[in-house]
Structure 1
Amino acid sequence: MNKLKIAIQKSGRLFEDSIKLLKDCGIFYNDGRDQLKVECETFPMEIYFLRNSDIPQYVEDGVVDIAIVGENLLIEKQKDIETVQKLGFSKCRVSLAVPKNVDTDDISFFQNRKIATSYPNTLRNFLQENGIQAEIHLISGSVEIAPNMGLADGICDIVSSGSTLFKNGLRETRTILKSEAVIAKNKNLSSEKEHLLEKFLFRVKAVLKAKNTKYILMNVPNDKIAQVSDILPVLKSPTVIPLADEGWSSIHSVIEEKRFWEVIDELKQAGAQDILIIPIDKMVI
């Protein structure tokens, strides 16, 4: 039987979130120590634990079928592979940064200067698009120390919170691109592998939908049911259950978590009481 081969980062910021996603999708494996390949017990899948920078090449070559990888890496490596699903975690950005004593944010600062980076292709494309001539100094790690060592006038690097820049006396001036974890695939999958990928993506989408959605319950006077229902952004229509107290019902629905605080006052003013928000484990539409 064919198995879907997936690559994930063997260590680093993407590893734990990738493993959690697989487990949330009901995909489990024997956690052997220091294994580079494991077979899953509950889904026809093999997991390859690879060095992050090598993953795009393995996907393009067909050594693995799919991968969980950062968009920023795909853009930098410029491989002929396809992004099929954004995952919403490991969000970051690739940005330019300069020493704190530089008093301008204008990218013209970098004209004819040196920039240290681990993302030469991404940086080169940005500079060309903006008509900036600069010397790119490639560094594989610890890019932030380059200005302090006199190797560069500024840097282009991945940024999450910005704390590393601050600790090294730098400040962010321009975001080149925003990134998050994605699922990418080889463009030449067999029909059987495509079918397995569809089944996997079905699970992934159910998990992602549940993370952003909550189950909402509230007690509402019967004469306010229509008004409350109009406020709720629901899939089809809310569930209405009569209560023991005459003239009252319980309304059950779902709501995007980010929308809850937008509508809570409207719900209360419309007569809703005893409002409960409950996490959803999976959501199949």
Structure 2
Amino acid sequence: MMTKLKIAIQKSGRLSDGSLNLIRQCGIKIPRMKGALKAEASNFPLEFLFLRDDDIPGYVQDGVADLGIVGANEAVEKDKNVDTIHHLGFSKCRLSIAIPKEQAYNGIADLDGKSIATSYPKILGDYLKEQGLKCEIHEISGSVEIAPNIGLADAICDLVSTGSTLMQNNLKEVESIFTSEALMIATPGLDAEKRGIIEQLMFRINALQTAGNNKYILLNAPKKNVDTILNLLPGMRSPSILPLANEEFVSIHTVIAEDDFWSKIEELKAAGAEGILVIPIEKMIL
């Protein structure tokens, strides 16, 4: 019987969508019926468990799932015995303290002695301790933003992405205490066969992430300025230089980090580069 990895994924929401999109971009086919709690990939030894995100660290610790994709906020808050395999780079957000918009705020000392409502008592408690503050923590789940409006707490500590939910509830963000993104976590001590499957999966994920951070660049350049342009556009090893019908020009093809390209664009143009194309890369294997 072929060994399969079990991977736990949030059953719905932004983290679920990002996780499934990542897996599918790896070329893994996931049949899923609406409301299903389990599924198996048809072309990779992977079985999916669709769970509540706050349950995933515990399931991975207990070996019910070998792998899990979960927000760093949940991984740290639940504090389970799991191995962090990889930072996946999506579902980025922050855990922040917010207070009613009309209240003045002069600094973190203003929070001392206040009551704060949160679904993340561990992360918040650790932060307050580091800051030397004594606050009353009200642990609640869901609808944290309403707490100041109903007199339950003076402030809240909750996940913030765009800040629109805070605005809708007449709150303002005053302290960001934790940054989060999707993580791949694993059960400690997996056997060699399962670790081998994880390596195959991570090979595909790394190829996607490397591609996402780089772009394929094509440009035309005067032959006399090739050395200058090559110094501005370092390739993976050595750029490709191809002849053109106009013998005074060549075509240069290379791969470069997108941020590096934009910081060099004016210098490239000044060196005579023209007809510049920037093309996304689907996968990149180094």
Q: TM-score range by the shorter chain?
A: over 0.9
Tell me the SS of whatever aligns to 1:215: strand
Where do residues 1-285 of structure 1 align in structure 2 (5 Å cutoff)?
Answer: 1-285=2-286
Q: Could you tell me whether the CA contact under 8 Å between 2:233 and 2:261 is conserved in 1?
A: no
Q: Structure 1: which amino acid aligns with 2:82?
A: I
Is the alpha carbon distance of 1:85 and 1:105 closer, same or farther for their aligned partners in structure 2, counting shifts above 3 Å?
farther
TM-score, length basis structure 2:
0.97
1:85, distance to aligned residue in structure 2 (A): 1.0
Give the Cα separation in 1 of the matches to 2:32 and 2:12.
14
Give the Cα separation in 2 of the matches to 1:231 and 1:267.
7
Q: Could you tell me whether the CA contact under 8 Å between 1:210 and 1:280 is conserved in 2?
A: yes
Q: Could you tell me whether the CA contact under 8 Å between 2:219 and 2:277 is conserved in 1?
A: yes
Tell me the SS of whatever aligns to 1:62: coil
Is the alpha carbon distance of 1:143 and 1:105 closer, same or farther for their aligned partners in structure 2, counting shifts above 3 Å?
farther
Give the Cα separation in 2 of the matches to 1:14 and 1:75.
16
- Cα distance per residue 1:215-242 (max 9 Å; x no partner): 1000011111111111013211111111
Give the Cα separation in 2 of the matches to 1:42 and 1:241.
39
Give the Cα separation in 1 of the matches to 2:114 and 2:26.
48
Which segment drifts farther, 251-260 or 66-75? 251-260
Tell me the SS of whatever aligns to 1:241: strand
Quote the sequence identity (%).
51
Q: Could you tell me whether the CA contact under 8 Å between 1:105 and 1:174 is conserved in 2?
A: no
Runs of 4+ in 1 over 3 A off after TM superposition: none
Is the alpha carbon distance of 1:124 and 1:12 closer, same or farther for their aligned partners in structure 2, counting shifts above 3 Å?
same
Q: Structure 1: which amino acid aligns with 2:90?
A: F
May I ask how many residue pairs the two structures share in their alignment? Answer: 285
Q: Structure 2: which amino acid aligns with 1:164?
A: T
Tell me the SS of whatever aligns to 2:145: helix
1:32, distance to aligned residue in structure 2 (A): 2.2
- Cα distance per residue 1:112-162 (max 9 Å; x no partner): 211000000001111111111111011100101100111000011110011
Give the Cα separation in 2 of the matches to 1:119 and 1:107.
18
Tell me the SS of whatever aligns to 2:28: coil
Q: Structure 2: which amino acid aligns with 1:9?
A: Q
- Cα distance per residue 1:173-232 (max 9 Å; x no partner): 111111111111111111111111011001001011111211100001111111111101
- Cα distance per residue 1:48-86 (max 9 Å; x no partner): 111111000000001111111101110111111111111
Segments of 5+ residues of structure 1 without an aligned counterpart are: none
TM-score, length basis structure 1:
0.98
Give the Cα separation in 1 of the matches to 2:62 and 2:189.
10
1:247, distance to aligned residue in structure 2 (A): 2.0
Q: Structure 2: which amino acid aligns with 1:168?
A: N
Give the Cα separation in 2 of the matches to 1:249 and 1:31.
50
1:105, distance to aligned residue in structure 2 (A): 4.4
Q: Could you tell me whether the CA contact under 8 Å between 2:112 and 2:134 is conserved in 1?
A: yes
Q: Could you tell me whether the CA contact under 8 Å between 1:207 and 1:281 is conserved in 2?
A: yes
Is the alpha carbon distance of 1:24 and 1:249 closer, same or farther for their aligned partners in structure 2, counting shifts above 3 Å?
same
Is the alpha carbon distance of 1:105 and 1:202 closer, same or farther for their aligned partners in structure 2, counting shifts above 3 Å?
farther
Give the Cα separation in 1 of the matches to 2:234 and 2:162.
33
Give the Cα separation in 1 of the matches to 2:35 and 2:80.
28
Tell me the SS of whatever aligns to 1:148: helix
Tell me the SS of whatever aligns to 1:46: strand
Which segment drifts farther, 130-139 or 253-262? 253-262
Segments of 5+ residues of structure 2 without an aligned counterpart are: none
